[in-house]
Amino acid sequence: MKLTNKNAVILAVVFFIIYSVFVIKVNYSVENYSDIIVATTFFFTLFTGFFITRQNDRYSNIIDTIAERDANFSFLYRVFGMVPRIQSEIREAIRNHYTKILESKDWAYNEFHPSNTITSITKSMSSLTAEEKEVIDGHSPFDGIWGAVQILQGSRKKIIALYEQGLVGFQWAIIYILALLLVVSFNLVPTTSLFVEVLKILFGTAVFISIVLLHQLDSLTLFGEHAGEQSARDIFSIIDEKVN
C-alpha cells in the first residue's frame, strides 16, 4: 500500500484505537520500570531522529535537483527563441517530457522509464544550419547551452542515485523493535488515573506517527502526489508563452 497522507491518517487512527484498548485492558507490574522507559526512549529517539534527518535531507536534495532540472529546460527553450525551428523542436521534446510527469504524478517518471528528451534536444541543437549559427553568433547566452545539457544529464543521474538511498531492511528492523519495546514499556507505568492512561495512549500514538513520518519520507510521499506539480505546470506556461 502506498503510504499517502490519507493512508497515514487512517493507520494512525487504527493504531490509536488498538493501543487504547491495550492500555486499558492490559496492566503489568514491574519494578524499576522508569529505567526501561528511559533506555528504550533514548535509543528510539537516537535512531529515529538520525534516520528522519537523513531522509529529510535526501528529500530536500531531490526537490533541489528537480528544480535545477526544470530551470535548465526552461533556459534552453528561452535561449533558442532566436532560432524558431530549434525552439519548436525543443518545445515538443519538453512538452512530451512533462506530460508524462503530470499524467503519472511522478516527478522522476522519465528517470526510471524510457525517455529520449535529452537525446532529442541534443539532436536539435546539433542540427543548426550555418545560417542559423550566424543569427546566434556573438550572443553570450548561447555559450552555456551545452553546459545546460550537461547539467540535465547530471541531474538525471543524481535523481536516480537519491531515489536509491532509502532505508534498508535491517534499519527498519531496528526502528520496529525499538518502537515495540517503547510502546510496551509505556504500559509498565502504574495506572493511577484516567489522565495517566490518556498520556500512555498519546505517547504510544506519537511513536507510531514518528514511524509513519519516516515511512513517508523514505517513500517520498510526505507532501503528497502533487509535489513538484506546480513547477511542471510552470514549464508548460513557459513553452505555451503564457509567462514572460
pLDDT digits (tens, 9 = 90+) for 55-81: 889 888 888 888 888 889 988 888 888
Q: Is the pLDDT of residue 114 over 80?
A: yes
Mean pLDDT of 131-145: 69
Q: Are 37 and 189 in contact (CB under 8 A)?
A: yes
Residue 96 pLDDT level (bands cut at 50, 70, 90): very high
Torsion angles phi and psi, residue 76, rounded to 5: -65, -40
pLDDT at 50: 92
pLDDT at 124: 87
Quote the CA–CA distance of 106 and 86 in Å, as a whole number. Answer: 28
The DSSP line for 141-154 is GGGGHHHHHHHHHH
List b or e across 180-214, with b for residues whose CB sees 16 or more CB atoms inside 10 angstroms.
ebbbebbbbbeeeeeeebeebbebbbebbbbbbbb
pLDDT at 147: 84
The pLDDT > 90 percentage for the chain reads: 9
Quote the CA–CA distance of 102 and 227 in Å, as a whole number. Answer: 11
Q: Is the pLDDT of residue 132 over 70?
A: yes
- CA distances (Å), 75 to each of 7, 79, 81, 234, in order? 38, 6, 10, 13
Q: Are 232 and 16 in contact (CB under 8 A)?
A: no
Give ∠ CA 222-71-123 in degrees, rounded to 5.
120
At 193, list the grid cell.
488515573
Mean pLDDT of 148-173: 87
